[in-house]
Amino acid sequence: MAAITPLLRLLPVLLLLLPPALLKYLTASNGPAKDAGIGELHPIVLLAGLGCSDLEAQLTEAYRPSVPRCGAMKGKGWFSLWQNTSDLLAQDYVQCFEEQMRLFYDPAINDYRNLPGVETRVPKFGSARAFHDKNPLHPKRCLDNVREALEELGYRDNDTLFEAPYDWRHVPPVPGQISRSYSQFFQRFKALVETASSKHEKKVIIFAHSYGGMIALEFVRNMPLAWRNRYIKHLLLSAPTLSEGFMRMVQGLISGSEHMIYVPTSEASLRTLWRSFETSIMGLPSPKVFGHEPLVITKQRNYSAYDMEDFLAAIGLEDSIEPFRRRMIPKMNYFEAPMVPMTCINGVGIRTPRQLLFWESDYNVSPEIVYGDGDGGVNLRSMTAFEEEMCREPRQKRQFKTIKIYKVGHSDLVTEEGAIKRVVEEILEANRISSNTLRTTF
Ligand SMILES: *[C@@H]1O[C@H](CO)[C@@H](O)[C@H](O)[C@H]1NC(C)=O
Ligand SMILES: *[C@@H]1O[C@H](CO)[C@@H](O)[C@H](O)[C@H]1NC(C)=O
Ligand SMILES: *[C@@H]1O[C@H](CO)[C@@H](O)[C@H](O)[C@H]1NC(C)=O
DSSP string, 282-313: TTPPPHHHHTT--SEE-SS-EE-GGGHHHHHH
Ligand 3: nearest atom to the Cα of 293: 5
Q: What is the pTM of this model?
A: 0.90
Residue 109 CB coordination number (10 Å): 10
Same domain, 75 and 175: no
Q: Out of 104, 121, 138, pick the residue that ends a domain.
A: 121
Same domain, 209 and 96: no
- 345 vs 403: CA distance, rounded Å: 5
Same domain, 64 and 155: no
pLDDT at 392: 95
pLDDT at 105: 98
Ligand 1: nearest atom to the Cα of 90: 5
Same domain, 108 and 242: no
Mean pLDDT of the chain: 89
Q: Measured between alpha carbons, how far is residue 253 from residues 279, 351, 362 in Å? A: 10, 20, 14
- Its domain, for residue 82, covers 55-121
Distance 356 CA to ligand 3 centre (A): 12
For range 196-212, the mean pLDDT: 97
Same domain, 85 and 203: no
For range 118-144, the mean pLDDT: 92
Asked if residue 84 has its Cβ within 6 Å of ligand 1, the reply is: yes
Same domain, 132 and 86: no
The full DSSP string for 106-163 is ETTTTEEEEPTTEEEE--STB-TT-B----TTSTTTTTHHHHHHHHHHT--BTTTEEE
Asked if residue 87 has its Cβ within 6 Å of ligand 1, the reply is: yes
Distance 341 CA to ligand 3 centre (A): 43
Whether residue 190 lies inside any domain: the answer is: yes
pLDDT at 395: 95
Q: Out of 79, 100, 121, pick the residue that ends a domain.
A: 121
Which residues does a 6 A CB cutoff place in the pocket of ligand 3?
294, 297, 301-302
Whether residue 370 lies inside any domain: the answer is: yes
pLDDT at 257: 62
Q: What is the pLDDT of residues 400-412, one digit of tens each?
A: 999 999 999 999 9
Q: What is the pLDDT of residues 169-183, one digit of tens each?
A: 999 999 889 999 999
Which of the listed residues 292, 295, 297 should we mutate to test ligand 3's pocket, taking the one with most ligand atoms within 8 A of CB? 297
Same domain, 67 and 45: no
What confidence tier does 442 reach under pLDDT thresholds 50, 70, 90? very low
Residue 162, phi then psi, degrees to nearest 5 = -140, 160
pLDDT at 259: 64
Q: Out of 121, 149, 169, pick the residue that ends a domain.
A: 121
Same domain, 280 and 336: yes
Distance 302 CA to ligand 3 centre (A): 6
Which ligand gives the minimal distance to the CA of 136?
Answer: 1
Same domain, 169 and 243: yes
Q: Do the Cβ atoms of 57 and 109 come closer than 8 Å?
A: no
Whether residue 5 lies inside any domain: the answer is: no
Distance 195 CA to ligand 2 centre (A): 11
Closest CA to 363 of 422, 301, 316, 419: 316
Distance 148 CA to ligand 1 centre (A): 22
pLDDT at 264: 84
How many structural domains compose the chain?
2
- 325 vs 310: CA distance, rounded Å: 12
Closest CA to 101 of 218, 343, 234, 269: 269
Same domain, 47 and 86: no
233: helix, strand or coil? strand
59: helix, strand or coil? strand
Ligand 3: nearest atom to the Cα of 297: 1
For range 39-67, the mean pLDDT: 95
Distance 158 CA to ligand 2 centre (A): 6
Ligand 1: nearest atom to the Cα of 84: 1
10 Å CB burial of residue 13 (0-12, 13-18, 19+) is: exposed
Which of the listed residues 81, 84, 85, 124 should we mutate to test ligand 1's pocket, taking the one with most ligand atoms within 8 A of CB? 84
Q: What is the pLDDT of residues 6-45, one digit of tens each?
A: 444 444 444 445 555 555 555 443 333 334 344 579 999 9
Whether residue 149 lies inside any domain: the answer is: yes
pLDDT at 370: 98
Whether residue 113 lies inside any domain: the answer is: yes
Asked if residue 91 has its Cβ within 6 Å of ligand 1, the reply is: no
User: Between vectors from CA 272 to CA 269 and to CA 274, what angle results, nearest 5°?
Assistant: 105
Whether residue 19 lies inside any domain: the answer is: no
**Nearest residue by C-alpha to atom 13 in ligand 3:** 301
Same domain, 153 and 93: no
Distance 438 CA to ligand 1 centre (A): 48
Asked if residue 86 has its Cβ within 6 Å of ligand 1, the reply is: yes
Which ligand gives the minimal distance to the CA of 127?
Answer: 2
Whether residue 20 lies inside any domain: the answer is: no
Q: Which residues, including other chains, have CB under 8 Å from residue 197's CB and lie 6 or more apart?
A: 43, 203, 204, 231
Q: Which residues are catalytic?
A: 210, 375, 410
**pLDDT value at 83 more than 60:** yes
Same domain, 115 and 146: no
Which ligand gives the minimal distance to the CA of 292?
Answer: 3
Q: Do the Cβ atoms of 260 and 274 come closer than 8 Å?
A: yes
Q: What is the pLDDT of residues 318-344, one digit of tens each?
A: 999 999 999 999 999 999 999 999 999
Q: What is the pLDDT of residues 274-314, one digit of tens each?
A: 999 999 999 999 999 999 999 999 999 999 999 999 999 99
Asked if residue 80 has its Cβ within 6 Å of ligand 1, the reply is: no
pLDDT at 22: 52
Whether residue 234 lies inside any domain: the answer is: yes
What confidence tier does 426 reach under pLDDT thresholds 50, 70, 90? very high
pLDDT at 435: 45
- Assign residue 223 the CATH number of its domain: 3.40.50.1820
- 11 vs 4: CA distance, rounded Å: 11
